[in-house]
Amino acid sequence: MSQAIRKVEYDRPQGAVCSVGQAWARVPDAPSTAERVALKERIRALLKREKAVLVAHYYVDPELQELADETGGCVADSLEMARFGRDHEAQTLVVAGVRFMGETAKILSPNKRILMPDLDATCSLDLGCPIDEFSAFCDEHPDRTVVVYANTSAAVKARADWMVTSSIGLEIVADLHAKGEKILWAPDRHLGSYIQKKTGADMLLWQGSCLVHDEFKGIELDLLRAEYPDAKILVHPESPEGVVALADVVGSTTQLIDAAVKLDAQRFIVATDLGILHKMRLAAPGKTFIEAPTAGNSATCKSCAHCPWMAMNGLANLADVLERGHNEIHVDSALGERARLPIDRMLAFAAEHKRRVQASGDLARDTALFSQVGAA
Ligand code: 13P
Ligand code: SF4
């Protein structure tokens, strides 16, 4: 594996001020075509040998996504990754994504072996929300229900009442708000303020951000939209307010892919990690996808719309981890048990929400059917 290191800067909230944190990401070698073919063959065989299943996020290398799909694993958003890993019978899960995704899998399945291609694949939201500072923040506001985003450490989750992902955060906060609860939200300030505006909930926000989505630029996106007036704009809610304001659809990675399939448009401008374009092109062949702008004319981009930590997942380190069984995720069992409570709450809420949506869909379909029958 290459040891080339890339320096990464991220938002480091400290009380009311936000400074710049310094981090790094390993840059994996790009194998040759022949090496890639051989590595994929080895991975298929090793997955069988280890009776393992590959659980990948939409932002990782397209070849890892294809391997996950073709070997009976899954490629999904963070909510579905958690659910799939918990429910799959395999005792070894290989999580291609970032560390919080591996930790969530371990918390939900403490008896399974969870491996990751690179344990140093982190997330700027996780880095920007250290447990000591976060815990002190919670202590200052004991009257608030603590809701944390999935992109956090096990310790931060263990301090929370609820965990949410981008696909269900809005519904959970709306529900808590309807019950009169005041929210302490962490760590993503953009997702937090999007949910706050949508629900009207009383939310106190931690000031973290995703270094990929924080870079999308509203002014440049508006100019691009003028160039392609027929295009629909798809935005992940970790993006800044000015970008979200221009969106036709705001949603999790899975919700954005669904929108690309279902919307009656041929062209889309996409404001999320460009790893998602692979799945969008497969799911909606013939449609055109354009990357949303990440930098102004004079600025250079920090992430260029691709997460440096997701990029640490490669074919070589995936094969290596399966061969040698190293890079296993461990979570202290007492901490894991506590961290599981907010995740289980979310999964139970999401299952109930899905059931209700399906029932109302059935009702709408039945009503349409009945009205057609009535009209005839
Ligand atoms: P999703 O849950 O929408 O896949 O998002 C995870 C993530 O890290 C986005 O940056
Ligand atoms: Fe974290 Fe952003 Fe990377 Fe997602 S894309 S893992 S939020 S840094």
Report CA(291)–ligand 1 centroid distance (Å): 17
* pLDDT tens digit sequence for 288-343: 999 999 975 455 677 889 999 999 999 999 999 999 999 999 999 999 999 999 99
Distance, in Å, from the CA atom of 125 to the CA atom of 376, rounded to the nearest integer, reads 57
Give the closest ligand to the alpha carbon of residue 253.
Answer: 1
pLDDT confidence of residue 369: 38
> Looking at ligand 2, which atom is closest to the CA of residue 125?
1
Distance, in Å, from the CA atom of 271 to the CA atom of 294, rounded to the nearest integer, reads 9
Per-residue DSSP letters for 95-137?
A: EES-HHHHHHHHHH-TTSEEE-S-TT---HHHHTS-HHHHHHH
> In this structure, how many other beta carbons lie within 10 angstroms of the beta carbon of residue 371?
10
- Residue 211: CB within 6 Å of ligand 2? yes
Report CA(168)–ligand 2 centroid distance (Å): 17
Residue 363 — pLDDT band, cuts 50, 70, 90?
low
Q: Any idea which residue has 């461990």 for tokens?
A: 330
CB of 99 closer than 8 Å to CB of 116: yes
pLDDT confidence of residue 362: 63
- Residue 150: CB within 6 Å of ligand 2? no
- Residue 125: CB within 6 Å of ligand 2? yes
Substitution candidate for ligand 2 out of 124, 129, 191 with most atoms within 8 A of CB: 124
Q: Any idea which residue has 């920007």 for tokens?
A: 128
- Residue 151: CB within 6 Å of ligand 1? yes
Length of the chain (residues): 376
In the chain, what percentage of residues exceed pLDDT 90?
A: 89
> Looking at ligand 1, which atom is closest to the CA of residue 77?
4
pLDDT confidence of residue 265: 98
Distance, in Å, from the CA atom of 118 to the CA atom of 313, rounded to the nearest integer, reads 7
> Looking at ligand 2, which atom is closest to the CA of residue 309?
3
- Burial string for 326-351 (b: 16+ CB within 10 Å, else e) reads ebebebeeebbebbbbbbebbbebbe
- Residue 256: CB within 6 Å of ligand 1? no
Query: 3-state DSSP call for residue 5?
Result: strand
Cα 139 from chain centre: 28
Q: What angle is formed at CA 1 by the lines to CA 78 and CA 70, rounded to 5 degrees?
A: 45
pLDDT confidence of residue 41: 98
Distance, in Å, from the CA atom of 129 to the CA atom of 192, rounded to the nearest integer, reads 14
Angle subtended by helix axes 99-108 and 78-87, to nearest 10 = 40
Per-residue DSSP letters for 283-329?
A: HSTT-EEEEPP-S-SS---SSTTS-TTGGG--HHHHHHHHHH--SB-
> Looking at ligand 1, which atom is closest to the CA of residue 213?
10
> In this structure, how many other beta carbons lie within 10 angstroms of the beta carbon of residue 323?
13
Give the closest ligand to the alpha carbon of residue 251.
Answer: 1
This prediction's pTM = 0.94
Q: Residue 345: CA atoms inside 13 Å, Cβ hemisphere, count?
A: 22
Residue with CA at minimum distance from ligand 2 atom 3: 307
Q: Write the burial class of residue 214 (CB in 10 Å: 0-12 exposed, 13-18 middle, 19+ buried).
A: buried
Q: Is residue 57 annotated as involved in ligand binding?
A: yes
Q: Report the DSSP pairing between strands 17-26 and 5-14.
A: antiparallel
* Domains of the chain: residue spans and CATH: 5-123+309-324 (3.40.50.10800), 130-211+334-357 (3.40.50.10800), 213-291 (3.40.50.10800)
Contacts 24+ apart (CB under 8 A), 327-331: 327/115, 327/116, 327/117, 327/118, 327/119, 328/113, 328/114, 328/115, 329/95, 329/99, 329/102, 329/103, 329/105, 329/106, 329/114, 329/115, 329/116, 329/119, 330/106, 331/103, 331/106, 331/107, 331/110, 331/154
Report CA(58)–ligand 1 centroid distance (Å): 9
DSSP state of 20: E
pLDDT exceeds 80 at position 366:
no
pLDDT confidence of residue 370: 35
Least confident of 4-8, 283-287, 359-363: 359-363
Report CA(364)–ligand 1 centroid distance (Å): 31
Residue type, 313: N
> Looking at ligand 1, which atom is closest to the CA of residue 97?
8
Q: What integer best gives the mean pLDDT of the chain?
A: 93
Report CA(372)–ligand 1 centroid distance (Å): 41
Q: Is residue 253 annotated as involved in ligand binding?
A: yes
- Burial string for 48-76 (b: 16+ CB within 10 Å, else e) reads eebebbbbbbbbbbebbbebbeeeebbbb
Q: With CA atoms as reference, report the closest residue to 108 among 348, 320, 368.
A: 348
Q: Is residue 151 annotated as involved in ligand binding?
A: yes
Give the closest ligand to the alpha carbon of residue 252.
Answer: 1
* pLDDT tens digit sequence for 69-127: 999 999 999 999 999 999 999 999 999 999 999 999 999 999 999 999 999 999 999 99
- Residue 163: CB within 6 Å of ligand 2? no
pLDDT confidence of residue 157: 98
pLDDT confidence of residue 224: 97
- Burial string for 96-118 (b: 16+ CB within 10 Å, else e) reads bbbbbbbbbbbbbbeebbbbbbb
Residue with CA at minimum distance from ligand 2 atom 6: 123
Report CA(210)–ligand 2 centroid distance (Å): 5
Give the closest ligand to the alpha carbon of residue 80.
Answer: 1
> In this structure, how many other beta carbons lie within 10 angstroms of the beta carbon of residue 3?
8
pLDDT confidence of residue 367: 44
* pLDDT tens digit sequence for 183-201: 999 999 999 999 999 999 9
Residue with CA at minimum distance from ligand 2 atom 2: 210
Give the closest ligand to the alpha carbon of residue 257.
Answer: 1
pLDDT exceeds 50 at position 269:
yes
pLDDT confidence of residue 214: 96
